[in-house]
């Protein structure tokens, strides 16, 4: 009889522990879901992070455009944008990007040197401590000879 009572108590305790563990796991999952919904501040999203020019003609600069959208609930500020070399010129908004609005980051490559290239632009915003690296790539081909008149 003592064995049956002891066994019954152990089974009850095991079942109760299992139910309690499932309940706390569910509560943590719900809390995590609610936390991601409540995220505040600026949120930077890019339409692309790589632009492939494919073939460029030597000596003819070309421009790539990257769209940056603020999907957060506070203004997004581009604190800096730096190209990896002097052959790349940048244009970007200095004014805050309001929630739900977008801006363009224009990257112009001068295409002076022949061959394959890959250049980067490092963008820092108030949305994250980590910068975003945008890339432009392609191949610069020689100018086609113009026929004599």
Q: How confident is the model at residue 148 (pLDDT cuts 50, 70, 90)?
A: low
Q: How confident is the model at residue 8 (pLDDT cuts 50, 70, 90)?
A: low
**Predicted local confidence at residue 149, as pLDDT:** 55
**Predicted local confidence at residue 143, as pLDDT:** 87
How many angstroms separate the CA atoms of 74 and 65, rounded? 24
How many angstroms separate the CA atoms of 66 and 81, rounded? 12
pLDDT tens, residue by residue, 59-90: 999 999 999 999 999 999 999 999 999 999 99
Q: How confident is the model at residue 2 (pLDDT cuts 50, 70, 90)?
A: low
Contacts of 18 (CB under 8 A, 6+ apart): none
Angle at 59 between CA 53 and CA 61, to 5 degrees: 45
Distance of CA 43 to the CA centre of its chain: 9
SS3 content of the chain, % helix, strand, coil (to 5): 25, 40, 35
- The CATH number of 44-141 is 2.60.40.10
**Predicted local confidence at residue 1, as pLDDT:** 55
**Residues constituting the chain:** 149
Joined tokens for residue 43? 């949120």
The DSSP output letter for 111 is -
Contact present, 54 and 141 (Cβ < 8 Å): no
How many angstroms separate the CA atoms of 95 and 112, rounded? 32
Q: How confident is the model at residue 26 (pLDDT cuts 50, 70, 90)?
A: very low
**Predicted local confidence at residue 23, as pLDDT:** 40
Q: State yes or no: pLDDT of 55 exceeds 50.
A: yes
pLDDT tens, residue by residue, 97-115: 999 999 999 999 999 999 9
How many angstroms separate the CA atoms of 77 and 35, rounded? 24
Q: How confident is the model at residue 18 (pLDDT cuts 50, 70, 90)?
A: low
**Predicted local confidence at residue 145, as pLDDT:** 72
């Amino acid at each position: 009889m003592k064995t049956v009572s002891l066994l019954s108590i152990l089974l009850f305790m095991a079942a109760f522990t299992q139910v309690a563990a499932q309940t706390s796991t569910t509560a943590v999952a719900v809390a995590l879901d609610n936390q991601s919904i409540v995220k505040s501040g600026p949120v930077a999203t890019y339409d692309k992070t790589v632009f492939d020019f494919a073939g460029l003609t030597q000596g003819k600069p070309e421009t790539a455009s990257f769209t940056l959208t603020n999907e957060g609930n506070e203004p997004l500020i581009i604190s800096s944008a730096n190209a990896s070399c002097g052959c790349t010129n940048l244009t970007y908004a200095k004014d805050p990007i309001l929630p739900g609005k977008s801006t363009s980051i224009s990257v112009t490559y001068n295409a002076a040197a022949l061959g394959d290239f890959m250049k980067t632009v490092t963008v820092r915003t108030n949305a994250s401590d980590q910068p975003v690296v945008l890339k432009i790539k392609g191949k610069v081909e020689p100018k086609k000879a113009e026929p004599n008149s």
